[in-house]
Amino acid sequence: MKGRRSLRLVMERFGEQLPQIVTPPPGPRSGELQARLERCEAPNLTIPGMAIVWEEAAGSNVRDADGNVYIDLTAAFGVAGVGHRNPRVVAAVQQQAALLLHAMGDVYASDQRVALEERLCALAPMPDARCFLATGGAEAVEIAIKTATLATGRPGVLAFGGGYHGLTLGALAATSRDWFRQPFTAHLSPAVVHLPYPYPYRFAGDEQACLEAALSRVADLLARPAAQPAPIGAVLVEPIQGREGEIVPPAGWLRGLRRLCDEAGILLIADEIFTGFGRTGRLFAVQHEDVIPDLICLGKGMTGGVPLAACVGRAELMAAWSVAGEPLHTATFMGNPLGCAAAQSAIAEIEERGLVARAASLGERLRAALEKLAARHALIGQVRGRGLMIGIELVTDRVTKPPATEAAWQLMAACQRRGVLVLAGGMFGNVLSITPPFVISEAQIDAALEIIDAALEEVERAG
Ligand SMILES: Cc1ncc(COP(=O)(O)O)c(C=O)c1O
């Protein structure tokens, strides 16, 4: 068996390999680079203790500076859906780099920007869409908030507890975690208000009651416009909350929000920066409920790794940007040609290789296997998710559900030591987030599951 595995290692290309730890991570070269980083970078920009430094990545593999090869179950925050260093994306970026690296934002567009925007308008869930490109997800969210403000004349936004929309000041107003907000409270717009997101695992009642409780809070708030700090023009929601713990709302949540928005005459903004482009097993997560949002924010997996994001919306709403004079929003790198070329090739990969369907089927298989682990490990309170967006919520007691935050970090470290990268997250820091590239192989999934199993055993034994 051992012999067969090592023969396979020799034959497998980097990208499809199983873990190979040659030096216990973090190794000396990573340690040295980390020490240099600490001397030149603002402190606390990388999580202490996880200090491996990446040198190369392809497919579902990452190689660190000490030559250790990992299976990446994070896809680097969900970005590498088409796999790290996807050859088609790399070729498109190389070809574009030889032609035009940078165009001129709101003054001179590039041909790549035209082509990508046509593509995004054609793919968007709303008919007759228009596009507004951004450099990162937070900016795309801010463009959506600005669009809603211009189009409705009502600056108020209803967002949700556990929502993560980015950390620049405008987006931070909609992000809910107090840790990120507290030092900057004075800069955060009071026009953004929050209500609880339906979190079935932590709700005292069944899914239907959880759904009704959350929707009735929204209905109550929208019924009292005069009581809000600013008139509400839009509801901003993640179809599945990502960074705060892969929280899957009960069926009917998005449809319920759509109905309440229509009744109140306000906009529904879907933040699909994490869920979009196949991650949940549909091209966009709103499609699970056949909901058409007014605006949709896209990023992360859209390019396979080059910074670019977008806000796409109904043409009638996007028309609100058409004021006489200079564009009301732009940025130096808006619509960067490299990003536009990368996005077109990543989208073509997703479509032509059937990666959305693959995310759906691999996700089911992976969730079922994780459920089996849950039956053997008391630390696992719940396995949940859709497609290849899976959360494992860890608790110290399955009945009272206290978050096992420390165990989540220990598990992340134990997996890393064995050659698997997972991310601990969630609003209590106790959810292991599993969001691998869609191109991950079944053999890699099986190897990663064995490692998670062993890491769970280690953490449970120590705890
Ligand atoms: C749903 C969602 N919205 C917005 C953002 C912010 O994107 P960025 O980090 O590119 O600013 C993120 C990032 O994790 C996200 O998950």
CA of 454 to the centre of ligand 1 (A): 32
Report residue 20's pLDDT band, with 50, 70 and 90 as the boundaries: very high
For the chain, how many structural domains are there in total? 2
Sign, CA torsion 456/457/462/463: positive
Determine the 3-state secondary structure of 261 from DSSP. Answer: helix
Looking at the structure, do residues 230 and 333 belong to the same domain, yes or no? yes
Task: Identify which of 143, 273, 423 to mutate to test ligand 1's pocket (most ligand atoms within 8 A of the CB).
Answer: 273
Mean pLDDT value of segment 54-62 = 98
CA of 273 to the centre of ligand 1 (A): 6
Looking at the structure, do residues 391 and 277 belong to the same domain, yes or no? no
Looking at the structure, do residues 288 and 419 belong to the same domain, yes or no? no
Q: What is the pLDDT of residue 25?
A: 95
Contacts of 409 (CB under 8 A, 6+ apart): 49, 424, 429
Q: Is-cis flag, bond preceding 28, omega within 30?
A: no
| Position 189 in a domain | yes
Q: What is the pLDDT of residue 320?
A: 98
* CATH at 454: 3.90.1150.10
Mean pLDDT value of segment 320-324 = 93
Q: What is the pLDDT of residue 1?
A: 43
Looking at the structure, do residues 251 and 379 belong to the same domain, yes or no? no
Measured from the Cα of 307, ligand 1's closest atom is: 10
Mean pLDDT value of segment 113-129 = 98
Last residue of a domain, one of 310, 326, 352: 352
Looking at the structure, do residues 18 and 37 belong to the same domain, yes or no? yes
On whether the CB atoms of residues 425 and 345 are closer than 8 A, the answer is no
Q: How far apart are CA 334 and CA 79, in angstroms?
A: 19
Looking at the structure, do residues 148 and 249 belong to the same domain, yes or no? yes
| Position 379 in a domain | yes
Mean pLDDT value of segment 126-140 = 97
- Model confidence pTM above 0.85: yes
* pLDDT per residue as tens digits for the range 86-113: 999 999 999 999 999 999 999 999 999 9
* CATH at 284: 3.40.640.10
| Position 79 in a domain | no
| Position 124 in a domain | yes
Task: Identify which of 133, 172, 274 to mutate to test ligand 1's pocket (most ligand atoms within 8 A of the CB).
Answer: 274
Looking at the structure, do residues 149 and 294 belong to the same domain, yes or no? yes
Look at ligand 1, atom 10, and give the residue with the nearest C-alpha: 137
**In the predicted model, is pLDDT for residue 8 greater than 90?**
no
| Position 378 in a domain | yes
CA of 113 to the centre of ligand 1 (A): 22
Residues in the chain: 463
Which residues line the pocket of ligand 1, CB cutoff 6 A? 77, 136-138, 141, 164-166, 238, 242-243, 271, 273-274, 299
Mean pLDDT value of segment 30-35 = 94
| Position 80 in a domain | no
Looking at the structure, do residues 377 and 389 belong to the same domain, yes or no? yes
* pLDDT per residue as tens digits for the range 217-245: 999 999 999 999 999 999 999 999 999 99
CA of 242 to the centre of ligand 1 (A): 9
Looking at the structure, do residues 154 and 188 belong to the same domain, yes or no? yes
Lowest-confidence pick of 6-10, 278-282, 418-422: 6-10
Look at ligand 1, atom 7, and give the residue with the nearest C-alpha: 137
CA of 421 to the centre of ligand 1 (A): 20
Nearest to 144 by CA among 340, 280, 314: 314
CA of 325 to the centre of ligand 1 (A): 31
Look at ligand 1, atom 16, and give the residue with the nearest C-alpha: 274
**Range(s) of the domain holding residue 106:** 87-352
Last residue of a domain, one of 331, 352, 373: 352
Q: What is the pLDDT of residue 201?
A: 98
**In the predicted model, is pLDDT for residue 35 greater than 50?**
yes
* pLDDT per residue as tens digits for the range 158-205: 999 999 999 999 999 999 999 999 999 999 999 999 999 999 999 999
Mean pLDDT value of segment 310-337 = 96
Measured from the Cα of 139, ligand 1's closest atom is: 11
Looking at the structure, do residues 241 and 389 belong to the same domain, yes or no? no
Looking at the structure, do residues 227 and 295 belong to the same domain, yes or no? yes
**In the predicted model, is pLDDT for residue 6 greater than 70?**
no
Q: How far apart are CA 448 and CA 72, in angstroms?
A: 9
CA of 209 to the centre of ligand 1 (A): 29
Looking at the structure, do residues 348 and 287 belong to the same domain, yes or no? yes
Last residue of a domain, one of 298, 333, 352: 352
Q: What is the pLDDT of residue 308?
A: 98
Residue 97's CB is within 10 A of a number of other CB atoms, namely 12
* Cα separations in angstroms, 348 against 111, 119, 167: 17, 10, 30
Report residue 11's pLDDT band, with 50, 70 and 90 as the boundaries: low
Report residue 50's pLDDT band, with 50, 70 and 90 as the boundaries: confident
| Position 78 in a domain | no
CA of 243 to the centre of ligand 1 (A): 8
Query: What is the radius of gyration, based on Cα positions, of the chain?
Result: 22
Report residue 463's pLDDT band, with 50, 70 and 90 as the boundaries: confident
Q: How far apart are CA 409 and CA 42, in angstroms?
A: 23
| Position 77 in a domain | no
Q: How far apart are CA 398 and CA 382, in angstroms?
A: 9
